[in-house]
Every structure is written in structure tokens, then in C-alpha cells.
Amino acid sequence: MPAQHRLAALAAATLVGAAVVPVLAPTAAYARPSATVSPTSVAPGSRVSLNVTGCGTKTGRATSTAFGEVSLAPGNLEATNLFGAAIVSRNARIGSHPVTFECGTGGERVTVTLNVVSGSARGGLGGSTTGVSPGQIALGGSLVAAALGSGVWYVRRRAHAM
């Protein structure tokens, strides 16, 4: 066989091999799962969001000494993301707590850390009114009153023009 034919055969074999390898390789979506807890530092009584990607299952769970066990549900049709939420126990000890995510039943596991810090969960307005002075409240109230007064004046003026 001449050298040109052998080179062409090698090129063809390489091309076929390159086309087959991506089909045989594991997909990135089902490689090693990765997980997140958000926020990563919370006070007892706070809510955390749980997310694991790359499971390839439609069910999962997350367990921790900070909140117990939570079932995870798919976030999309392909079930590449599993989501859930948990309330950190008011009696959770201050410090690091492992959160273990499990894909399906007895499937792959991945562990991340949740930090429980001292303090309490913010309720009500969530602290949105802290740091507001009486002058700022008065200014805001007068702007609202001016806007309402202008609206009434405009509507009455328009009614008299018709």
C-alpha cells in the first residue's frame, strides 16, 4: 500500500474515532454532583435554599444536624437540578454543620458546609427600617402627601374642563 493510501486511512480512522469518543464519554450533566446551600452562614430559625446539580435522578434529599432531612424536587424537566428549602432549627448549635445531598435512594452523595452563627432570624420587615431618622420619615411623608395632592388637583381640573 502506498504511503498516501496509508495516510488517508489513518486520517479516516482518526476522524471516525473523534466522532465516536464524545458519544461514549460520560456527559457533564451526570458526572460528579455538586451542591450549594444559600446562604452559607445563617442564624438559628433562618431559611436556607438547597440545590444539587448533576444527579440525573428526579428525587433526592438533603440531611443535616442543623435542620434534619429535606426532600428535593426537580427544578426542570431534565432533572439536572434538584431544589429544596429548610428552616434551621432554633436549637441548632453554633458552628459548622455538614449538609449531605443524596441523589435518588442510595445514589451518589456530596457534602457541603452550613455555618450557624449567633443571633436570630430577622422577621417582620427584615430590618428594612433600621437607620431611618425622623427627618427622613417626615420628608418621605411630605413627598407622598404632595403626590396625592397633585393627583387630586389634576383629576378635579380635568373634570371641570369637560
CA–CA gap between residue 48 and residue 52 (Å, rounded): 13
pLDDT confidence of residue 129:
53
Q: Tell me the Ramachandran region of residue 78: left when phi exceeds 0, alpha when psi lies from -120 to 50, beta otherwise.
A: alpha
Q: Which residue has the higher pLDDT, 66 or 137?
A: 66
- 42-51, 72-81, 93-102, 106-115: which has the minimum mean pLDDT? 72-81
Does pLDDT of 104 surpass 90?
A: no
Tell me the pLDDT tens digit for each residue of 115-154: 999 876 555 454 445 566 777 777 778 888 888 888 788 7
C-alpha cell at 132: 431611618
In this prediction, residues 42-67 reach a mean pLDDT of 92
pLDDT at 146: 83
- Average pLDDT of the chain is 77
Amino acid at 90: R
Asked whether the beta carbons of 49 and 82 are under 8 A apart, the reply is no
pLDDT given for residue 121 in this prediction: 56
- Closest by Cα among 101, 68, 66 to 83: 101
End-to-end Cα distance, the chain: 99
The DSSP element (H or E) to which 53 belongs, if any, is: strand 47-53
Go through the domains of the chain in sequence order and give each one's CATH number: 28-116 (2.60.40.1930)
pTM exceeds 0.85: no
